[in-house]
Amino acid sequence: MTVGERLREAAAALGPGASTGRLDVELLMAHALGTSRTGLLLRHMRDEAPAGFEQLFARRRAGEPVAYIMGRTEFWGLDLAVSPAVLIPRADSETLVEAARAAFAGRAPPRRVLDCGTGSGALLLAALTLFPGAEGLGIDRSDEALAVAQANAGRTGLAARARFALADWDAPGWDEGFGTFDLVLANPPYVEDDAELEAVVRDHEPPGALFAGPEGLDAYRVLVPQLPRLLAPEGVALVEIGSRQDGAVSAIAAAAGLSARLHRDLAGRPRALEMRDSGNISLGKGPSDH
Ligand code: GLN
């Protein structure tokens, strides 16, 4: 059987319910052939289908995410390693990187960046790509995640500007000696404990990166009140939120003395809050004293 025939069969076997079925089998076939998806489509469709595809495809059929099967994914144009120890970076989270770009447009770019719950390192490494003069610190409470993030810093050529540390914002003194940051990023867990997630997420991705109490707000309640201490003067925090958490997380921010501005993802859903010290908001914008 040719590669082209096997792809058609395999996509059909995943059924119409698999929205990314055709894409998934192309990615796995390219992986089995040791080429890119473009290389596959341009050069290999009439080759004999490789035996190595079958094992990869069996895992996909059993419900495993393609990113874990391949051990890699793409975020903000970066090729990142992923393992089941880390959440698979979502395109939705690129909203935070775009918002960071906008937040520093026309003023001095951030020099110190903190990523809280860095996981694969995706947000931190994207920010370091965006701001070539910046240094970054990524923290996580999972050692295994930090190993993935460190590997990704090397893989993307950013290791000289990225540091990682084991830390848990639930623990008193977790940020001792960190200093302050011009940009703080966070994609904390925010899913309600009893939410009905797709099996591909629920059965494979790390629960600690997803679930945050009955309303999915537990991580915000602990982390957001600590942001004023972490932010340098005129610093900005960008925090990912669930699409229905805008009001609740804005209220948590307001109680912490932070203003919050909403950013939507490409589908138009609320996806990130840009937070600043409320006292700083009018800096340079108010009427002059003179
Ligand atoms: N957006 C992710 C999902 O819906 C959740 C990510 C998170 O909790 N930080 O699966």
Q: What is the pLDDT of residues 147-199, one digit of tens each?
A: 999 999 999 999 999 999 999 999 999 999 999 999 999 999 999 999 999 99
- On whether both 134 and 42 belong to a single domain, the answer is no
**Which residues have C-beta atoms less than 6 Å from ligand 1?**
90, 187, 189-191, 201, 210, 240
What pLDDT, in 10s, does the model give residues 71-128? 999 999 999 999 999 999 999 999 999 999 999 999 999 999 999 999 999 999 999 9
> For residue 83, what are the CA distances in angstroms to 9, 92, 96, 199, 222?
28, 19, 22, 17, 27
* Residue 133 alpha carbon to ligand 1 centre in Å: 30
* Residue 15 alpha carbon to ligand 1 centre in Å: 25
Place of tokens 């940009």: 183
Q: Which atom of ligand 1 is nearest to the CA of 205?
A: 10
| Residue 41 within any structural domain of the chain | yes
- On whether both 19 and 137 belong to a single domain, the answer is no
| Residue 289 within any structural domain of the chain | no
- On whether both 153 and 89 belong to a single domain, the answer is yes
- On whether both 48 and 128 belong to a single domain, the answer is no
Q: What global pTM score does this model have? A: 0.92
* Residue 9 alpha carbon to ligand 1 centre in Å: 32
**CATH number of the domain where residue 132 is located:** 3.40.50.150
| Residue 67 within any structural domain of the chain | no
- Positive or negative torsion for Cα 212, 179, 272, 131: negative
Q: Containing H/E element for 148?
A: helix 143-155
> Mutate which of 86, 93, 120, 191 to test ligand 1's pocket (most atoms within 8 Å of Cβ)?
191
Task: Look at ligand 1, atom 9, and give the residue with the nearest C-alpha.
Answer: 189
- Neighbouring residues of 232: CB distance < 8 A, sequence distance ≥ 6: 112, 180, 181, 182
> For residue 197, what are the CA distances in angstroms to 24, 145, 200, 217?
20, 22, 8, 17
Could you tell me the two tokens for 119? 């996981």
| Residue 77 within any structural domain of the chain | no
| Residue 73 within any structural domain of the chain | no
The total domain count for the chain is: 2
- On whether both 96 and 187 belong to a single domain, the answer is yes
Cα–Cα distance for residue pair 211/194, rounded to 1 Å:
9
Tell me the three state secondary structure of residue 49.
coil
Task: Look at ligand 1, atom 5, and give the residue with the nearest C-alpha.
Answer: 210
Torsion angle, alpha carbons of 72, 168, 175, 124, to 10 = 20
Q: Which atom of ligand 1 is nearest to the CA of 240?
A: 9
